[in-house]
Amino acid sequence: MNVDELLAKAKKPSADAMKLHPFYRGKIETTLKCAVHSFKDFAIWYTPGVAAPCKAIQANPDLVYDYTNKWNTVIVVSDGTRVLGLGDIGPKAGLPVMEGKALLYKYLGGVDGFPIMLDTKDPDAIINTVLMLQPGVGGVNLEDISQPKCFYILDTLREKADIPVWHDDQQGTATVTLAGLINALKVVGKKMSEVKIAFIGSGAANVACSRLIFGWGADPSRCFMVDTKGILGKHRKDLELRKAEYKDKWKLCNITNAEGREGDIPDAIKGADVVIALSKSGPGVILPEWIKSMAKDAIVFACANPVPEIWPWEAKEAGAAVVATGRSDFPNQVNNSLGFPGIFRGTLDVRARTITDEMCFAAAQALADHVGKRLDADHILPDMDDWEVFPREAAAVAMKAVEQGLARHPTTYEAEFENASNIIKRSRGLTKMMMEKNFIAAPPLDKDEHDVDLETIKSAY
């Protein structure tokens, strides 16, 4: 396959998306889950019968979880200011992404997700809107909101909301990255507490990654964070002057980089055991010669999309023992979709009040453990088609919520694993049935595969 053919193949998903989005006119819809045998049933589901459950909920508000779909509903809230790979494209342009998120919630986790696009960039307006919407939903997924306001919005909502609020760009990315790192360190035989880590990019994702990774046992003083102006540290007067606005980055300036390194990406990478890059799309953001300067048996997570900061074969040829990216056509895909469906499944099922870092740790451990004997340098995480990972995550998260006293509806591991498995199987089965019966029309496309294998891509560059 020559370069032109490869590029055409790589562009095919985008071309297909432009055909299929208008063909289906969106990716999700609402449908019924109750029986309707005749119009007489409307007297039960609507007036006058509906007044009885309304009164019951008024008398006991917790019954809303038993009498409505609040227990299984998550809203995906965004202002479209930080859409992955696209930037500030606005709420209307961001809607296809949030619909896609809702699709993944339903298919992978059996969760009824629904996109809510907000026509405001004001963080307080976003907070107030979410708080006003919470009576009708079971949880909130904040998505594609720019920093630093994304930190303020999440922290405030976690404090004020009665339902769990999650920012997938932060917590989701961090959970799956931690899981991958746990297993990558097993492959190379290194300890979390002893490694030097260079975090390339200091946006919402890597700030959260560093928090969870430090919480798991990495030593912050041995680690380095890099933003667009260089390595973070106490020398960064630009951040000290804005520490009230960038409080998370200023905290990292004070707890990382005990060596007092200054400079940029190559200076942070030198001698590091691990690189976790969530910066800008490559290739060429990280150069092979910088990887050569890392410690022996280096680990490189180059997770920018759509193109990683360095091609995985370049990193391997430069000496990296384990390489992960955000792409499905390379080994070791680090993708949020491995996390949020199962995490929210377990959170909703026990009616947890919030999603703590400890619940994220439980999910990360479940993800890492699920690889089992398949663990090697090219398989540090489960694949998304390994559907059992999601109920296992759900059960692990649910048990941690129970342990922390956050569950309004406690259960056992076995019961939650069975419950989550049944819900997810039902969701996937419904989709399959609707496709077979043509309630979901067959797409008007050829049957060519979208994936391009690594050797094919490598040969073209």
**Domain residue limits, the chain:** 40-167
Compute the residue count for the chain: 461
Euclidean distance between CA atoms 362 and 375, whole angstroms? 19
In words, the CATH class of domain 40-167 is alpha beta
Q: CA angle, 302 as apex, 104 and 336 as ends, to 5°?
A: 15
Name the token pair of 370.
């699920």
Question: Which residue reads 């060596």 in tokens?
Answer: 259
User: Catalytic residues, which ones?
Assistant: 46, 101
What pLDDT, on a 0 to 100 scale, did the predictor assign at position 448?
53
What pLDDT, on a 0 to 100 scale, did the predictor assign at position 3?
45
- Cβ–Cβ under 8 Å, residues 164 and 352: yes
What pLDDT, on a 0 to 100 scale, did the predictor assign at position 458?
47
Euclidean distance between CA atoms 252 and 214, whole angstroms? 11
Which amino acid, residue 23? Answer: F
For residue 107, give Cα distances in angstroms to 26, 112, 130, 180, 181.
15, 9, 24, 23, 26
**Torsion angles phi and psi, residue 302, rounded to 5:** -105, 95
Q: What is the pLDDT along the chain (461 residues), one digit of tens a residue?
A: 544 554 465 567 788 889 999 999 999 999 999 999 999 999 999 999 999 999 999 999 999 999 999 999 999 999 999 987 788 999 999 999 999 999 999 999 999 999 999 999 999 999 999 999 999 999 999 999 998 899 999 999 999 999 999 999 899 999 999 999 999 999 999 999 999 999 999 988 999 999 999 999 999 999 999 999 999 999 999 999 999 889 999 999 999 999 999 999 999 999 999 999 999 888 899 999 999 999 999 999 999 987 899 999 999 999 999 999 998 888 999 999 999 999 999 999 999 999 999 999 999 999 999 999 999 999 999 988 899 999 999 999 999 999 999 999 999 999 999 999 999 999 999 999 999 999 999 988 765 544 545 454 444 44
